[in-house]
Amino acid sequence: MSDNKFNDILNEIKVNRTFLSVYIPSKQTEVELLPLTLAQQKLIIETTSDTTLGILFFNNIFYKILKENIQCDIKDLTTIDRVNLTLTLRQHLEDIVEFGEISVSVAEILEKNKSIVNTIEPVTLTSGDFTFEIQAPNLDIDNFINTHLLNKYKNVSFDDHKLKNLISDLYVYEILKFIKTIKINDTEISLHSELVKSASVIESIDTKHFKSITDYINNVRDTEAKYTKCIKSEKSIDITPDLFIL
């Protein structure tokens, strides 16, 4: 078969792909999303090979796939929205997820999720002399920080000491994801550009000033978890690469 015929077939495949419709909680609207290709599913499955950095690799690969497949600006989507996006892609491959003897319909979860009221909004928090602008991270910021951590640790051989370094960095950068700006007296800086310097700034602040911020973070993560809950059982679907191994 000639190269032209191969190219013709590839073009036909691209032209005839159909979009999925996904409900976006943060916008209370629907967007269009292309299904996974086999190559994209393969990339997701490959992230299961690294148990230490696996979830960072998974989110990093998934961001790239979403950016390629979504029909909107990915900066407009938050980590809360990622749950529905993930479940929609999985449901298109196969609707049923097995938990031992329990079978769960992803389509039912996605329908249930449309009735959940998303109450997460940006807030301004003040503690002592500090003023923080806080919001659920969009997928662009989430990926930017995940990529920074991957670059820092991807070639590291993990012993107990290095593992503790990673855990502490994950804690600091998790907080950093949620803080858009910080102001002390009349000086204000944005924290989502120079990450090393930004991490140094927040590490120098007394821990007590982050109490309201960590409460906000926990609320966001709890909200994300609501969108993974099954209807007929107490089970939740884990958003991990294993979800795409059929």
Q: How many domains does the chain have?
A: 1
In a domain, 9, yes or no: no
In a domain, 91, yes or no: yes
Contact between residue 89 and residue 68 where contact means Cβ atoms under 8 Å apart: no
Helix or strand or coil: residue 238?
coil
Contact between residue 68 and residue 37 where contact means Cβ atoms under 8 Å apart: no
In a domain, 33, yes or no: yes
- pLDDT at res. 15: 67
Per-residue pLDDT tens, the chain, 246 aa: give them: 566 777 767 777 776 778 999 999 999 999 999 999 999 999 999 988 767 788 899 999 999 999 999 999 999 999 999 999 999 999 999 999 998 888 899 999 999 999 999 999 999 999 999 999 999 999 999 999 999 999 999 888 888 888 899 999 999 999 999 999 999 988 999 999 899 999 999 999 999 999 999 999 999 999 999 999 998 778 899 999 999 998
- pLDDT at res. 208: 96
| Spatial distance between the Cα atoms of 63 and 142, rounded to a whole number of angstroms | 9
Report CA-CA distances (Å) from 40 to 35, 183, 221: 9, 42, 26
Contact between residue 190 and residue 181 where contact means Cβ atoms under 8 Å apart: yes
- pLDDT at res. 241: 93
Is the pTM higher than 0.85? The answer reads yes
Q: Where are the beta strands (DSSP E) in 200-244?
A: none
Tens digit of each residue's pLDDT (9 = 90 or more) over 96-139: 999 888 889 999 999 999 999 999 999 999 999 999 999 999 99
- pLDDT at res. 128: 93
Range of the domain at 75: 17-246
In a domain, 10, yes or no: no
Tens digit of each residue's pLDDT (9 = 90 or more) over 73-83: 999 999 999 99
Burial of 191 per CB tally in 10 Å (0-12, 13-18, 19+): buried
In a domain, 221, yes or no: yes
In a domain, 184, yes or no: yes
